[in-house]
Amino acid sequence: MKKIALIALALVSTGAFAQNLLGSGTTTGAPVWNRPSSLSSLSGVGTATPYVVIPFWVDVTGSYVMEANGAGAAPHTDTYIFLYGSSFNAATPLTNLLDGDDDFSGTFTVLTGSGQGLASSRMAAGETSNFTGGTAPVLVANSQYYLIVSGFGNTDQGSFDYGIGGGQGTVHAGAVPEPATMAILGVAALAAARRRKK
Protein backbone atom coordinates (compact mmCIF):
# COMPACT_ATOMS: atom_id res chain seq x y z
CA MET A 1 0.00 0.00 0.00
CA LYS A 2 2.86 2.39 0.84
CA LYS A 3 4.41 1.84 -2.60
CA ILE A 4 1.15 2.77 -4.36
CA ALA A 5 0.77 5.90 -2.20
CA LEU A 6 4.36 6.95 -2.95
CA ILE A 7 3.88 6.49 -6.68
CA ALA A 8 0.61 8.44 -6.62
CA LEU A 9 2.24 11.23 -4.60
CA ALA A 10 5.17 11.37 -7.00
CA LEU A 11 2.90 11.58 -10.04
CA VAL A 12 0.83 14.36 -8.42
CA SER A 13 3.99 16.24 -7.41
CA THR A 14 5.40 16.27 -10.93
CA GLY A 15 2.32 18.17 -12.19
CA ALA A 16 3.34 21.21 -10.12
CA PHE A 17 6.37 21.70 -12.37
CA ALA A 18 4.57 21.89 -15.73
CA GLN A 19 6.90 22.35 -18.69
CA ASN A 20 6.18 23.37 -22.27
CA LEU A 21 7.69 21.52 -25.23
CA LEU A 22 9.58 23.93 -27.50
CA GLY A 23 11.54 23.14 -30.64
CA SER A 24 12.31 24.01 -34.21
CA GLY A 25 12.52 22.24 -37.55
CA THR A 26 12.19 22.60 -41.28
CA THR A 27 9.85 21.15 -43.85
CA THR A 28 12.34 21.85 -46.64
CA GLY A 29 13.19 18.48 -48.19
CA ALA A 30 10.74 16.65 -45.90
CA PRO A 31 8.37 13.87 -47.05
CA VAL A 32 5.12 15.04 -48.67
CA TRP A 33 1.45 14.19 -48.11
CA ASN A 34 -2.02 15.23 -49.20
CA ARG A 35 -2.92 17.34 -46.17
CA PRO A 36 -6.49 17.48 -44.81
CA SER A 37 -8.69 20.52 -45.46
CA SER A 38 -11.22 19.50 -42.76
CA LEU A 39 -11.85 16.59 -40.41
CA SER A 40 -13.50 14.72 -43.29
CA SER A 41 -11.83 15.84 -46.55
CA LEU A 42 -8.42 16.25 -48.18
CA SER A 43 -7.02 19.40 -49.73
CA GLY A 44 -7.09 20.00 -53.47
CA VAL A 45 -4.30 22.60 -53.07
CA GLY A 46 -1.98 20.82 -50.62
CA THR A 47 -1.71 17.51 -52.48
CA ALA A 48 2.07 17.07 -52.09
CA THR A 49 2.93 19.31 -49.14
CA PRO A 50 6.09 18.74 -47.06
CA TYR A 51 5.45 17.85 -43.41
CA VAL A 52 7.25 17.15 -40.12
CA VAL A 53 5.93 14.84 -37.37
CA ILE A 54 6.40 15.78 -33.70
CA PRO A 55 5.32 12.95 -31.35
CA PHE A 56 4.41 13.99 -27.79
CA TRP A 57 2.31 13.20 -24.72
CA VAL A 58 1.14 15.03 -21.60
CA ASP A 59 1.14 13.86 -17.99
CA VAL A 60 -2.02 15.73 -16.88
CA THR A 61 -5.36 15.67 -18.73
CA GLY A 62 -6.50 19.12 -19.87
CA SER A 63 -6.45 21.84 -22.50
CA TYR A 64 -3.12 22.69 -24.12
CA VAL A 65 -2.00 25.20 -26.74
CA MET A 66 -0.16 24.23 -29.95
CA GLU A 67 1.69 26.92 -31.94
CA ALA A 68 3.99 27.09 -34.97
CA ASN A 69 5.70 30.09 -36.50
CA GLY A 70 7.94 30.56 -39.54
CA ALA A 71 11.42 31.43 -38.24
CA GLY A 72 15.12 31.34 -39.09
CA ALA A 73 17.08 32.24 -42.21
CA ALA A 74 14.53 30.61 -44.55
CA PRO A 75 11.24 30.97 -42.64
CA HIS A 76 8.25 28.85 -43.50
CA THR A 77 6.02 30.68 -45.97
CA ASP A 78 2.58 29.43 -44.83
CA THR A 79 2.35 27.02 -41.90
CA TYR A 80 -0.54 24.64 -41.30
CA ILE A 81 -0.62 22.50 -38.15
CA PHE A 82 -2.57 19.33 -37.37
CA LEU A 83 -3.18 17.30 -34.21
CA TYR A 84 -3.50 13.51 -34.31
CA GLY A 85 -4.28 11.10 -31.49
CA SER A 86 -3.11 7.48 -31.02
CA SER A 87 -1.21 7.16 -34.31
CA PHE A 88 -0.33 9.03 -37.49
CA ASN A 89 0.01 7.66 -41.02
CA ALA A 90 0.52 10.13 -43.88
CA ALA A 91 -1.09 7.64 -46.28
CA THR A 92 -4.39 7.87 -44.33
CA PRO A 93 -4.41 11.53 -43.24
CA LEU A 94 -8.01 11.62 -41.97
CA THR A 95 -7.54 8.70 -39.55
CA ASN A 96 -7.09 9.88 -35.93
CA LEU A 97 -7.20 13.56 -36.99
CA LEU A 98 -8.39 15.70 -34.06
CA ASP A 99 -7.84 19.32 -35.17
CA GLY A 100 -6.06 21.58 -37.63
CA ASP A 101 -5.34 25.28 -38.08
CA ASP A 102 -3.86 27.51 -40.74
CA ASP A 103 -3.25 31.23 -40.15
CA PHE A 104 -2.82 33.02 -36.81
CA SER A 105 -2.33 36.70 -36.01
CA GLY A 106 -2.18 37.54 -32.33
CA THR A 107 0.00 37.11 -29.26
CA PHE A 108 1.52 33.68 -28.69
CA THR A 109 1.25 32.13 -25.22
CA VAL A 110 3.73 29.26 -25.60
CA LEU A 111 6.12 30.73 -28.17
CA THR A 112 7.46 34.25 -27.73
CA GLY A 113 6.21 37.14 -29.83
CA SER A 114 3.16 37.29 -32.05
CA GLY A 115 1.70 35.34 -34.93
CA GLN A 116 2.48 36.66 -38.40
CA GLY A 117 -0.67 35.63 -40.27
CA LEU A 118 0.22 33.18 -43.05
CA ALA A 119 3.50 32.06 -41.44
CA SER A 120 1.84 31.19 -38.11
CA SER A 121 -0.67 28.65 -36.78
CA ARG A 122 -2.27 28.08 -33.38
CA MET A 123 -4.78 25.70 -31.79
CA ALA A 124 -6.16 26.53 -28.33
CA ALA A 125 -9.34 25.92 -26.37
CA GLY A 126 -11.86 28.71 -26.83
CA GLU A 127 -10.31 29.93 -30.08
CA THR A 128 -11.65 29.25 -33.55
CA SER A 129 -9.54 26.77 -35.51
CA ASN A 130 -10.07 25.87 -39.14
CA PHE A 131 -11.44 22.45 -38.17
CA THR A 132 -13.24 22.61 -34.83
CA GLY A 133 -14.46 26.18 -34.41
CA GLY A 134 -13.21 26.83 -30.88
CA THR A 135 -13.54 23.42 -29.28
CA ALA A 136 -9.91 22.33 -29.27
CA PRO A 137 -9.61 18.76 -28.02
CA VAL A 138 -8.77 17.99 -24.40
CA LEU A 139 -5.53 16.00 -24.28
CA VAL A 140 -5.67 12.87 -22.13
CA ALA A 141 -2.76 12.09 -19.81
CA ASN A 142 -0.38 9.34 -20.94
CA SER A 143 -1.93 9.11 -24.43
CA GLN A 144 0.06 9.46 -27.64
CA TYR A 145 -0.35 12.58 -29.80
CA TYR A 146 1.33 13.93 -32.92
CA LEU A 147 1.69 17.56 -33.96
CA ILE A 148 2.17 17.80 -37.72
CA VAL A 149 3.72 20.98 -39.13
CA SER A 150 3.04 21.35 -42.83
CA GLY A 151 2.16 24.01 -45.38
CA PHE A 152 -0.96 25.32 -47.03
CA GLY A 153 0.16 24.53 -50.58
CA ASN A 154 2.72 22.28 -52.22
CA THR A 155 5.37 25.03 -52.44
CA ASP A 156 4.93 26.27 -48.85
CA GLN A 157 7.94 25.14 -46.87
CA GLY A 158 10.79 26.39 -44.69
CA SER A 159 12.04 26.54 -41.12
CA PHE A 160 9.76 26.98 -38.11
CA ASP A 161 9.58 27.12 -34.32
CA TYR A 162 6.89 25.18 -32.47
CA GLY A 163 5.53 25.13 -28.94
CA ILE A 164 3.09 22.86 -27.11
CA GLY A 165 2.06 23.75 -23.58
CA GLY A 166 0.09 26.16 -21.48
CA GLY A 167 -1.66 23.34 -19.64
CA GLN A 168 -1.46 22.04 -16.08
CA GLY A 169 0.93 19.24 -16.96
CA THR A 170 4.28 18.77 -18.61
CA VAL A 171 4.44 18.12 -22.35
CA HIS A 172 6.92 15.33 -23.15
CA ALA A 173 8.57 14.69 -26.53
CA GLY A 174 8.45 11.21 -28.02
CA ALA A 175 6.44 8.09 -27.28
CA VAL A 176 4.45 7.48 -24.10
CA PRO A 177 6.50 5.26 -21.76
CA GLU A 178 5.22 1.83 -20.80
CA PRO A 179 3.25 1.71 -17.48
CA ALA A 180 6.18 0.17 -15.56
CA THR A 181 8.44 2.97 -16.78
CA MET A 182 5.85 5.55 -15.63
CA ALA A 183 5.97 4.13 -12.10
CA ILE A 184 9.78 4.28 -12.07
CA LEU A 185 9.67 7.90 -13.29
CA GLY A 186 7.25 8.76 -10.48
CA VAL A 187 9.48 7.18 -7.83
CA ALA A 188 12.51 8.98 -9.29
CA ALA A 189 10.66 12.31 -9.15
CA LEU A 190 9.76 11.69 -5.50
CA ALA A 191 13.39 10.85 -4.67
CA ALA A 192 14.58 14.02 -6.42
CA ALA A 193 12.04 16.10 -4.48
CA ARG A 194 13.24 14.59 -1.19
CA ARG A 195 16.87 15.41 -2.07
CA ARG A 196 15.93 19.03 -2.79
CA LYS A 197 14.31 19.38 0.66
CA LYS A 198 17.53 18.29 2.43
| CATH code for the domain of 150 | 2.60.120.380
CA distances from 137 to 4, 100, 140, 153, 198 (A): 31, 11, 9, 25, 41
Q: Is 186 within the bounds of a domain?
A: no
Do residues 127 and 22 touch, judged by C-beta distance below 8 A?
Answer: no
pLDDT at position 8 is: 37
pLDDT at position 192 is: 60
Q: Is 166 within the bounds of a domain?
A: yes
Q: Is 53 within the bounds of a domain?
A: yes
The segments of the chain whose pLDDT lies below 50 read 1-15
pLDDT digits (tens, 9 = 90+) for 102-131: 999 999 999 999 998 999 999 998 888 888
Q: Is 185 within the bounds of a domain?
A: no
Find the radius of gyration of the CA atoms of the chain: 18
Q: Is 7 within the bounds of a domain?
A: no
Q: Is 198 within the bounds of a domain?
A: no
**198: Cα separation from own chain's centroid:** 36
pLDDT digits (tens, 9 = 90+) for 82-93: 999 999 999 999
pLDDT at position 185 is: 59
Do residues 178 and 142 touch, judged by C-beta distance below 8 A?
Answer: no
Its pTM stands at: 0.82
pLDDT at position 198 is: 59
Length of the chain counted residue by residue: 198
pLDDT at position 141 is: 98
Query: Angle CA(35)–CA(36)–CA(41) in degrees, nearest 5?
Result: 135
Q: Is 192 within the bounds of a domain?
A: no
CA distances from 51 to 8, 18, 130, 193 (A): 38, 28, 18, 40
Domain of 54? Answer: 20-178
Percent of the chain as helix, strand, coil, to the nearest 5? 20, 35, 50
Count of the separate structural domains present in the chain: 1
pLDDT at position 118 is: 92
Q: Is 145 within the bounds of a domain?
A: yes
